[in-house]
Structure 1
Amino acid sequence: MKYKAERDCKTYLDTGRLFAPSSKSCHVGLNQVGSLPLEVRSWTCSNCKIKHDRNVNSAIIIGDEGLGLLALGTSTYCP
């Protein structure tokens, strides 16, 4: 994906493989679940009681992290 972003003059940000809490953290209140086996695909936050799809919730958290990094000025210039 990085080469496609560079080719199209887009910004590519990598949160890294160890950004694991994203699938176990509530994107609303950032409450983290202690243990969540990979076969569990949805879960309910104990604080806000919202039911999360694990993949969608993770995508929202990673997207928010990317926007935060961009807000810090880590974007690149492309002529």
Structure 2
Amino acid sequence: MPVQIQTLEQAIRAAFPVSHLEIEDQSSGCGESYSVLLVSVAFEGKTTLAKHRLINELLKNEIAQMHAFSQKTFTPAQYEAYLAKAT
């Protein structure tokens, strides 16, 4: 059964205080490849690896059903710096 964006969003919002969340189905709607960008104060003081492990553990059942999963995780300050670099 394909993974739905709503399933991912509900799980993330239930587990983390979300400042910003983008979930993109990169598989043309078949639910096998997702990209997630998550901004949360819960990531303060954590390394990128630690942040990714938190997401991977939270979504382990969903990720097991996917072909590909990518993530970008930021604190609010890191996200502001990321946006500033993009412009």
Larger of the two Rg values belongs to structure: 1
Task: Give the structure-1-normalised TM-score.
Answer: 0.31
**Greater per-residue helix proportion:** 2
**Greater per-residue strand proportion:** 2
